[in-house]
Amino acid sequence: MPNTNTDCDSVWTYQGYQLDKGNFTTAMVHLYRAEVQRANVWRSRLDNTTNWAVVTSAAALTFAFGTAENPHFLILLVLVLMLTFLNMEARRYRYYALWSYRVHLMETEFFATMLTAPFEPSADWGARLAETLQTPEFVLSWWEAVGIRFRRNYIWLTSLLLVSWGIKLHLHPYPSLTAMMTIERAAVSFVPGYIIVGITLLIYCVLLGITALTLLPREKRPWRVIRRMHAPVQAPSRRCLATIITVHGETLAQRLMQVLDRSVTALEGTGMYTGQKRDVLLCAITEAQISHLERCVQEIDEEAFIVISPTSEVRGGGFDPLLAPS
């Protein structure tokens, strides 16, 4: 990761490349401004979708209560339109979360470290940022985005529409005497009123359930099963374990620690076919660093044996994931 080179204070070292600190900082500033702009664009799109929902709800309620002859199912059509807006807003929020993740990563891991000693970014921030640029993936699932946006905005709009629908059924064309009469008025064409009411309340309860689950800590949310059924989510940084078998363990370990800024663990091994002593190096890296690791090994020991194994989770040493904004 970017860190200050003690041999030449005017140079940044980044995964084997030496960059002038001024040019590197200028490039990061331009990237930061671009990511902030993209986050603002998607934030504006979120606000536009919410404004459409508010205006549509107000217009529909004004028309529905204009006269007793206006049909009640107009409010149901607006509820369906609210679900469409919610789906659009959840999709846009997933994009916003991705850009916001990048912005927050640069703010906390690059700019903030300029203000506090030892004035060095953490070990993993650059690789995580590079991976979101090379292979961008959503940091929120569709279900999480729906729950968050419903909790923030649409729970109030849908609740208002449901209450207004119930009042419309009760009052028009004249006040009903019993609850059963109110439910019977909910009929649409040949579909009985109790079916319409049941389906409407079921959808509302499902949305409330999804919203309640988003209030749980992320590690306790039951999204693992749901993720297999829907679009890919959260993988801002893929972790790998590199196993290297070499006869130049000390030299190669120093090179990897210098270039990748990763810790290396050395074990003693024996080639069972040749009986020759070997060094077995273990190094946890991110997917973006694989090509750099292979180049380092090629430079030190062309006969080395490398195994790259994907891992589900790596803790410590700069690998702790950054939670998505909610």
CATH number, domain at 299?
3.30.70.120
Is 316 a domain residue? no
Please determine, for residue 85, whether its predicted confidence score (pLDDT) is greater than 90. yes
Q: Which residues contact 133 (CB under 8 A, 6 or more apart)?
A: 102
Has residue 233 been placed in a domain?
Answer: no
258 and 211 together in one domain: no
The residue segments making up the domain with residue 117 are: 3-227
pLDDT of residue 199: 93
Q: Assess if residue 40 is contained within a domain.
A: yes
The 10 Å Cβ neighbour count of residue 210 is 17
2: pLDDT strictly greater than 50: no
d(CA 295, CA 252): 11
CA gap 258, 184 in Å, rounded: 75
Regarding whether 10 and 81 lie in a shared domain, the answer is yes
Phi, psi dihedrals of residue 284, rounded to the nearest 5°: -85, 125
7 in any annotated domain: yes
Residue among 240, 297, 22, 29 at smallest CA distance from 124:
240
Do 221 and 253 belong to one domain?
A: no
Q: Are residues 70 and 213 in the same domain?
A: yes
**pLDDT tens digit sequence for 118-147:** 566 666 677 778 777 877 788 888 888 999
Query: Is 101 contained in some domain?
Result: yes
Report how far residue 163's alpha carbon sits from residue 160's, in angstroms, rounded to the nearest whole number: 5
* DSSP 8-class letter at 15: T
For residue 299, pLDDT beyond 60: yes
pLDDT at 212 over 60: yes
Let me know whether 100 and 27 are in one domain: yes
Q: Sign of the CA dihedral 315, 317, 319, 320?
A: positive
Asked whether residue 52 falls in the same domain as residue 112, the answer is yes
Asked if 245 and 164 sit in the same domain, the reply is no
Instruction: Look up residue 252 and give its amino acid.
Output: L
**pLDDT attached to residue 324:** 44
Tokens coding 37? 């702009």
Q: Once rounded to an integer, what is the mean pLDDT over residues 161-189?
A: 88
The predicted model scores a pTM of: 0.62
Q: For the chain, where are the alpha helices, taking DSSP H only?
A: 21-64, 73-106, 125-134, 142-149, 155-171, 179-184, 193-214, 223-227, 249-260, 290-300
Does the structure show a pLDDT above 80 at 295? yes
Residues 275, 220: one domain?
Answer: no
Mark whether 156 and 35 lie in a shared domain. yes
Residue 247 falls within a domain, yes or no? yes
The pLDDT score that the predictor gives to residue 3 is 43
Domain-terminating residue out of 198, 227, 256 = 227
Q: Are residues 101 and 217 in the same domain?
A: yes
The torsion region of residue 261 among left (phi > 0), alpha (psi -120 to 50) and beta comes to left
User: Is residue 324 domain-resident?
Assistant: no
279 pLDDT above the threshold of 60: yes
| Number of domains making up the chain | 2
- At 14, the pLDDT band (50, 70, 90 cuts) reads low
Are 37 and 82 in the same domain? yes
Model pLDDT, residue 236 = 43
161 with 58, same domain?
yes
- 207, 227, 247 — which closes off a domain? 227
